[in-house]
Amino acid sequence: MFRTRAGAAAGAFLLATSLALTACSGSGSDDKNSGSDAKTLTLWHYEGPTSAMGIAWNKAIDIFKQKHPGVTVKFEEKSFEQIQQNAQMILNSDSAPDIMEYNKGNATAGLLSKQGLLTDLSDQATQRGWDKKLSNSLQTTAKYDDNGIMGSGKWFGVPNYGEYVMVYYNQDMFKKYNLQVPATLDDFTKVMDAFKAKGITPLSVGGAEYPAQQIFYELALSKADRSFVDDYQLYKNKVDFHGPQLTYGAQTFSDWVSKGYIAKNSAGIKAEDMGVAWEQGKFPILISGSWWYGRFASEVKNFQWGTFLFPGNSLHPGSSGNIWVVPEKSKAKSLAYDFIDITMSPEIQNLLGNSGGVPVAADASAITDAKNKELIDNFNKISSQDGLAFYPDWPAPGYYDVLVAGVQGLINGSKTPAAFLDEIAKPYNQNLTDIGK
């Protein structure tokens, strides 16, 4: 009995193999004609169905179907982890989708573009005008050079949405202590002093994950200009880790801890717990990214809240969101370009904005909800001043963990600001040598 089953399995196995082999050789030959006559579009992304991107992209799929009546769209929701772990293997196989959402950055999209797994979108970007719709700092994450480093070279991705770090505040608590939204960093410090005087720790901080390093970077940016960002992120010139910007960031962060603006125990707090603590009204202020916005809007019921940009800064941590890429093995490239074009259309961009996301090319007057409008106006303000400074952990692979550990040292006082800067300078400079800069 087992023998026959094994035999049948082996037969099925051989059959499957030969089918798969013929399938590859068949598609390989007409691949170059960009598959404008393809009848299916396989599309992957990893945004939840109720998120702003999920809503907008669902609508984009509907519009795509209307415009291409004979084409079936095979949409699959993937997990972030699956794409993060396996993109390289998947894109190198015949299971590659025709278009997918992917992470921007040197270690992800940059690496794959260098390996020839992504399609060059430069011609499409100029023909279809995507280059006009996206501001310079947004284009940074769409273009990669021959070494897979972002900022220049060919287009390999198209972002639909943006993200940036801002200050969320509890309006009820501000009102209770008669405090105003601060306009400068000094005012901000005074507001935090006022809370401290009432025995309230002003900032909800997650030191075990990304939030704390973004505060440090935000503080460094308050003394920085665009050329510092270009040096730090795009390796234009060597960065002095004991220069005025980073020294100010580290020193001020450390001061904020010693003055009690940031609780000592926040070194062990995760981002999720930071957010929940703020939602529960335990802290009046949270400094973090626009990715929280939709969630706060739907979950915070017990108090009024608002946002403002980090006072006094013209540069803010932030970037384009994840990007659409077209795998080199895509069998329906021209359909994929059409789909990207639809996601960049005003209709989808406005829907993205009205659903609580940050569109890159929306008409701000078409955003109906007042809160969402404020979110998008702020983003447009940053974007038009070329004020997106990306994230502190971008420049080197594995730098995220270095920064988390370093900032934790600042929070629990085990490291001086100078020692912290030395510690984070080492892997950064090591990476420069590795990539030959």
Partner 1 sequence: MTVTASPPQAPATRETPEAAERRNPVRFAILIALLVLLLLVVAPLLVVLLNAVKSPSDYASHGPLALPSHLYWDGIVTFWNRVNFGQKLWNSFLSSIVVAVLGVVLSILNSYALGIGKVKGRVWFLVFFLVANLLPQEVLVYPLYYLSKQIGLYDNLISIVIIFTVIQSAFGTYLLTSVYAEFPTELLDAASVDGAGKWRTLWRVVVPVSRPTLGVLFTFFFIWTWNEFFLPLVFLVSNDNQTVPVALSVLQGDRLMDATTTSASALLGILPAMLFFVIFQRTLTRGITAGAIK
Of 102, 228, 283, 292, the residue at the interface with partner 1 (CB under 8 A) is 292
* Residue 293 in the binding site for partner 1 (CB under 8 A): no
* Residue 46 in the binding site for partner 1 (CB under 8 A): yes
* Residue 53 in the binding site for partner 1 (CB under 8 A): no
* Residue 398 in the binding site for partner 1 (CB under 8 A): no
* Residue 2 in the binding site for partner 1 (CB under 8 A): yes
Question: Of the ranges 122-130, 152-160, 295-303, 362-370, which one interacts with partner 1 (CB under 8 A)?
Answer: 295-303
In angstroms, give the least distance from the CB of 155 to partner 1.
22
Q: Are 169 and 305 in contact (CB under 8 A)?
A: yes
* Residue 72 in the binding site for partner 1 (CB under 8 A): no
* Residue 1 in the binding site for partner 1 (CB under 8 A): no
Nearest residue to 268 via CA among 151, 409, 150: 409
Q: At 156, list the tokens.
A: 């390999």
In angstroms, give the least distance from the CB of 374 to partner 1.
21
* Residue 58 in the binding site for partner 1 (CB under 8 A): no
Q: Are 233 and 166 in contact (CB under 8 A)?
A: no
In angstroms, give the least distance from the CB of 300 to partner 1.
7
In angstroms, give the least distance from the CB of 90 to partner 1.
6
Of 86, 247, 412, 416, the residue at the interface with partner 1 (CB under 8 A) is 86
Nearest residue to 108 via CA among 119, 118, 94, 123: 118
The strand pair at 40-45 and 305-308 is best described as: unpaired
* Residue 217 in the binding site for partner 1 (CB under 8 A): no
Q: Are 284 and 170 in contact (CB under 8 A)?
A: yes
Residues in 171-210 that interact with partner 1 by CB under 8 A: 210
* Residue 291 in the binding site for partner 1 (CB under 8 A): yes
Q: At 260, list the tokens.
A: 């009690």
Of 37, 62, 76, 401, the residue at the interface with partner 1 (CB under 8 A) is 76
Question: Of the ranges 81-89, 182-190, 226-234, 346-354, which one interacts with partner 1 (CB under 8 A)?
Answer: 81-89
- Is the CB of 127 or the CB of 302 nearer to partner 1? 302
* Residue 20 in the binding site for partner 1 (CB under 8 A): yes
* Residue 113 in the binding site for partner 1 (CB under 8 A): no
In angstroms, give the least distance from the CB of 53 to partner 1.
11
Question: Of the ranges 42-50, 141-149, 400-408, 420-428, which one interacts with partner 1 (CB under 8 A)?
Answer: 42-50
Of 302, 304, 368, 430, the residue at the interface with partner 1 (CB under 8 A) is 302
CA distance 26 to 16: 15
Q: At 84, list the tokens.
A: 């993060």
- Is the CB of 108 or the CB of 222 nearer to partner 1? 108
What are φ and ψ of residue 174, in 5° steps?
-60, -40
Q: At what angle do helices 52-67 and 346-354 cross, to 10 degrees?
A: 150
Of 78, 133, 329, 333, the residue at the interface with partner 1 (CB under 8 A) is 78
- Is the CB of 268 or the CB of 346 nearer to partner 1? 268
* Residue 289 in the binding site for partner 1 (CB under 8 A): yes
Residues in 313-352 that interact with partner 1 by CB under 8 A: 322
Kindly report the number of other CB atoms within 10 A of residue 182's CB atom.
19
Q: Would you tell me which residues interact with partner 1 (CB under 8 A)?
A: 2, 9, 12-13, 16-21, 46-49, 76-82, 85-86, 89-90, 92-95, 103, 210, 271-272, 276, 279-280, 289, 291-292, 295, 298-302, 322
